[in-house]
Amino acid sequence: MSVILKAPAAHVGTPHKSDPQVVDTVAAVLDDIRANGDGAVRRYSERFDRWTPESFRLGADEVAKIMSDLPGTVIEDLTFVQRQVRNFAQAQRDAMLDVEVETLPGIRLGHKHVPVAASGAYVPGGRYPLTASAHMTVVTAKVAGVERVAATTPPNQGTPPAISVAAMHLAGADEIYVLGGVQAIGALALGTETIPPVNLLTGPGNAYVAEAKRQLFGEVGIDLFAGPTEVLIIADDTADPFIVAADLLSQAEHGPDSPCVLITTSERVGRDTIAEVERQLENLPTKPVAAVSWENHGEVHLVVDLAEAFALGDRYASEHVQILTAEPRRALTEMRDYGALFLGEKTCVSFGDKAIGTNHVLPTLGAARYTGGLWVGKFLKTVTYQEIDNADSSAELARICGRAARLENFEGHARSADVRAAKYGGDVLEWTEHRFIEDSAAVPS
């Protein structure tokens, strides 16, 4: 049974329940884009971002100019990080094998992994230009084999955000748009006169972007229903409160509603971490955001042992779970519900967010109970096929299928099987509903 050393001042709302005002606003914008295409997109871009260029899509010369103006170290760092993402995504893809088995003589069943034809990647701007989102959504799609990746990012005070454009270009985006918000999501999903539609939407965004993806789900696929960034740390007496505090605040600065939770078996670590968070907030440039997140959504729980800590961690089903214990790999066998695990003091969530190579688009708001995060497989459709080239097997399966179909009163299904039993097994057709009876010789060959 846990003891609460710090309780949150506020609680996260019902998972994936949207603000009614946001729902209505997004629905109106999407309906307008559906009806009026580019004209509607341009109006909303002007209204929300004061951005109406001749074309929202950047040309090759514009991209080249942006790339040439960036310092070489920026290009090198982006390239390094994308190489890590690409390598891990490729390892995932290589593990996804096509399958074909012969279940009975001449009956072959199989599946193969087919990439979606086109995906859209939203790279947020606003408070932070999240270049890492380009790595996760564009690089991974390309490794999966997606033929067309359309990437978009909001303008930065009236100009294309250079580092976001560079990240999208280096990642392999086939089209780069400077367009943000619901108008960007709507244009990619629904298509306009100048922007062809995609089949899958990926990437994080604000509440309006998240709601647009929710409303469009079904017309297109989406990666995840997104909520605020979350971090949960499990620590024992070996943990360093200085590092624990820094890791909590690294995620608290994402937004004022980001939960940051510590579960520890050590009262000393718990209380020292609380004090250390307050000290580190004093000179943190993002304090106006991080302090609100810590005050309203920060929690510290004291538990009896690690078994209880892991069980409590599973109940949270947090997006990011750090294990700062003497034996961090225990969590691999004792935990089930998390977006991603970060094992040991030498590892941190920030590495996952920015540089290490695993995908940082992860489930939030408890969704880790039923799904993992974005990965190369999300861009692939696992489709099945079946083939029979043995007459006896076709006839025998047809007899079983006919009986099974008639149990369910599906006479049409049964007759589709019957004709094969007749043609390949010599059975006599007895379709009594309309009294059609012939011997097998009359069945066309």
What is the secondary structure of 287-339 as a DSSP string?
A: HHHHHHHHHHHEEEEE-SSHHHHHHHHHHHT-SEEEEESSSTTHHHHH----S
- Which strand ranges, in their side-by-side order, compose the sheet holding 340-343? 3-6, 298-302, 260-264, 231-235, 320-324, 340-343
Query: Annotated binding site for substrate: which residue ranges?
Result: 229, 251, 254, 320, 353, 408, 413
How far from the centroid of its chain's Cα atoms is residue 257's Cα? 20
Backbone angles phi, psi at 84, to 5 degrees: -65, -45
CA 312 to chain centre: 25
Nearest CA among 107, 164, 101, 104 for reference residue 137: 164
**Is 111 a known active-site residue?**
no
Check if the beta carbon of residue 140 is closer than 8 Å to that of residue 375: yes
Name the β-bridge partners of 384. 111
Residues flagged as binding site: 122, 183, 206, 229, 251, 254, 320, 353, 408, 413
Annotated binding-site residue numbers for Zn(2+): 251, 254, 353, 413
CB atoms near residue 111 (< 10 Å): 14
| C-alpha closest to that of 135 among 116, 157, 151 | 151
Catalytic status, residue 193 = no
Element holding 351 (H helix, E strand): helix 349-354
**Identified catalytic residue from 320, 345, 360, 396:** 320
Helix 162-171 × helix 60-69 angle, to 10° = 110
**Sheet arrangement for strand 221-222:** 175-178, 148-153, 118-122, 200-202, 221-222
Residues annotated in the binding site for NAD(+), as ranges? 122, 183, 206
Continuous H helices in 130-256: 131-134, 140-144, 162-171, 181-190, 207-216, 241-252
Cα–Cα distance between 389 and 404 in angstroms, integer?
22
Q: Are 165 and 63 in contact (CB under 8 A)?
A: yes
> Which residue out of 211, 230, 253, 319 is catalytically annotated?
319
Active site residues: 319-320
